[in-house]
Amino acid sequence: MLDTLSFAQKQRLAYIDFCLLFKGAIYRQDLIKRFEVGLSASSKDFSLYKTLAPKNLHYHTVEKRYVQTEQFQPVFEHDAQRTLVKLANDISDGFDGIGDVDYPVESPSNLNVPNIFIVARLVQAILLNKAVSVIYTSLSSGSGARELVPHSIVDNGLRWHVRAFDRKSQSFRDFVLTRVSKVTLKEAGEEHEQADADEAWQRLIPLQLVPHPKNVKHATAIEMDYGMENSQLLIKVRAAMAGYLLRRWNVDCTERGVLEGAEYQLWLQNRFTLNKVDNLAIAPGYLN
């Protein structure tokens, strides 16, 4: 039946599918606003979607919205990497399910690809402010059950992780998405488990990046690469993300810029700003 539909209608159906998968629900008004269609046309789209997947949704008469069922199985294929990028940039269209334009742009392949259903359930938990029970496999303790209260999904440059309050350690931590094998929604999170209470997430620290004093022969090239002004780049980053950024850009974090190698083109000039910042073991050359 999908092959007989117009591209525009498949887009709308893919959007319904996307919202049910990642948000757990969709209002008819969501479809109307997103595609500027009338009430009658939107009703036909929901009826058609229900014909295609009758066990995927039911209408909640009190909340006046369509809700995902426990038997939900996506009608369209949603690519994990592309979907995560779209979610990160607030592009909730679901169009990858029916084939986007093949743009002539490439990016380095990530080493891992998260399970799309794991991502979807965590996104739902974040949007609904819910805690989750997960099975997580760590390098130190292996597989085990944990209760988390997630608040953000983050690309650290190499892989995707979820930032969450960990009820086991009673602290905010990062959990790699590919190491999560099961997610079950639970009750709402407590106030001290929310993003507002995540001090390292809320605190912004300034980074003063300059061309490396020893490894760069022509500093102007680096200044142009990073759009520097007055031979430096001043940026603010969440304390929880500082280590990832410094590692991703291979920023020399030694006191005097002594790391050797062509990969170290930047030096952190205000190293003192990293005081009281966690996850700096991955920051090149940084030692407490």
Shared-domain flag, residues 215 and 138: no
Shared-domain flag, residues 179 and 120: yes
Shared-domain flag, residues 191 and 217: no
By residue range, what is the domain housing residue 132? 116-199
Each residue's pLDDT tens digit, 202-221: 999 999 999 999 999 999 99
Cβ contact 251:209 at 8 Å: yes
pTM of the predicted model as reported, rounded to 2 decimal places:
0.79
Answer yes or no: is 248 within a domain. yes
State the pLDDT at residue 158. 78
Q: Give the lowest-confidence range in 55-59, 85-89, 264-268, 278-282.
A: 85-89
CA proximity to 146, closest of 162, 128, 156, 131 = 131
Shared-domain flag, residues 160 and 239: no
Domain holding 163: CATH number? 2.30.30
State the pLDDT at residue 80. 75
Assign 109 a pLDDT band (cuts: 50, 70, 90): low
Answer yes or no: is 49 within a domain. yes
Shared-domain flag, residues 248 and 164: no
Domain count for the chain: 3
Shared-domain flag, residues 123 and 82: no
- Rounded to an integer, what distance in angstroms lies between the CA atom of residue 104 and that of residue 220? 29
Answer yes or no: is 121 within a domain. yes
Shared-domain flag, residues 88 and 138: no
**To 5 degrees, how large is the angle CA 112–CA 116–CA 121?**
125
Final residue of a domain: which of 199, 226, 260?
199
Answer yes or no: is 188 within a domain. yes
